[in-house]
Amino acid sequence: MSIFSKKCPNCTSKKYKVQYHYKTKNHGTRAILTCHNCGCSFSETTNTFLYNLKKPISTIWQAINNRTEGLGFNATARVCGISKNTLLDWENRFTNLYHVLFLYSLTHCFLQLVIEPMFAS
């Protein structure tokens, strides 16, 4: 699973066109794409961790932040107003992103510690 993969879920082609845009339940916009290769239509979030999420990203961020700050599982579900199964699903999705987020974190630290001081003086 990648963060923003825009490949056809049917034939993995990266050649697609935007068929139309629609408004999501939480006032965002999302594109429906059509594959040039096989004609398959798919959402731009297909095969990403955002696929089939119903809650706003802000709620998801708050729940994950509460968990990383040490709030318990049941308390986080209660405070965010979500079911335990929803919270468990989100945690599983973000667990799959561990390697990507770890690499991002290392790169960010490297830039701060090594590259930025080179240009500071």
* Among candidate residues 48, 87, 52, the one with its CA nearest the CA of residue 66: 87
- Choose one: 40-48, 53-61, 72-80, 97-105; the region binding Zn ion (CB under 5 A): 40-48
Q: At what angle do helices 84-95 and 57-68 cross, to 10 degrees?
A: 80
At closest approach, how far in Å is the CB of 31 from Zn ion?
16
Q: Smallest distance, Å, CB 9 to Zn ion? A: 8
Torsion of CA 100, 101, 106, 109, to 10 degrees: 140
Letters for 2-21 (x = contact with Zn ion by CB under 5 A, - = none) are ------x-xx-x--------
Instruction: Provide the mask over 84-113, with x wherever binding to Zn ion is found by CB under 5 A and - wherever it is not.
Output: ------------------------------
